[in-house]
Structure formats: structure tokens, C-alpha cells
Amino acid sequence: MKSPEQRFLEKVSIPVDLSECWEWTAHKKRNGYGMFGFNGKGILAHRFSYLIFNGELIKGLVIMHRCDNRSCVNPNHLDQGTSKDNMQDCLNKGRHQQANKTHCPQGHEYTEKNARKTLKGYRACRECENRRRQKNRKNNKK
């Protein structure tokens, strides 16, 4: 019977240059992250790789890809961090979907004057907020 580590490595394409990404070749979720069966449950492949090569997974921390390749399981490309660390890394690398948007859904440009940061850390369009307030005032007068 094969060990979990042996089964795992059978599903990895390891390049000659070990510093490059190790591609997960088995099942992947729609979002591109690999899945591996371990102890009767599914575990993200990069988390299992971190566990077997780098050690303990600390509860509450996520495994972050330094290479930004979701199907990579190279343990040298993986770090533990908080969700906040992961989001900051995403922002720093220009990969955050919301941060890359230049206009609100109504087409108003996000400028220093027109955008404000909400309590949850998102951007809000001041022009849209002003229009909503005006509309609400108008409706409340009726």
C-alpha cells in the first residue's frame, strides 16, 4: 500500500529545475487549486505539500503562493500567513480584482476625490452615494 506522500507525488509534475513550479496534474477545483484525498477527506494540494515538506499547518493560517500559480505545489513557493497577509500580497502584486477596477459599476471613475474607503476596506463611489442620498431625500418628501 502506498503512503499518502507517494500517492501525492504521483500527481505532481516536477521539473528538472526544482526551483520552478511543481504542477498539480490531478483533480483541480474550478478556481484552479488542486485537491488531494487524505484521511478520507479532500485537502487543497498546496496545503498538503506544505504539510509534508515544511511541517505543521497552523490553525487559522492560509498557505500563500509566492509564485501566484494556483496549481503549484512546490514547497519552496509556499508560505503560511493570515488571510490579511494573503490579501495584501494580492494587492501588492496587482492581482486583486476590485483593486484593479478603475470605474464603479455605474461608470464613474475612481479618483482620489470620487472614491472613499468603506469600513470593510472596499471603495465606494461618492458620486453614486450622493445620487442615492438625493433620490432618498426626494422619495421621503413625498
User: Do 17 and 73 fall within a single domain?
Assistant: yes
Total of domains in the chain: 2
How many CA within 13 A on the CB side of residue 118? Answer: 7
What is the pLDDT, as a whole number, of residue 49?
Answer: 97
Judge whether residue 102 has pLDDT over 90: no
List, in order, residues 6 or more apart from 2 with CB less than 8 Å away.
10
User: Do 105 and 84 fall within a single domain?
Assistant: no
- Among the three residues 78, 95, 112, which one is the final residue of a domain in this structure? 95
114, three cell numbers:
470620487
Distance CA 34, CA 23 (A): 9
User: Do 57 and 83 fall within a single domain?
Assistant: yes
Which position has the grid cell 438625493?
A: 134
What is the pLDDT, as a whole number, of residue 100?
Answer: 61
User: Do 108 and 82 fall within a single domain?
Assistant: no
**Residue 123 belongs to what domain range?**
101-142
- Among the three residues 56, 77, 95, which one is the final residue of a domain in this structure? 95
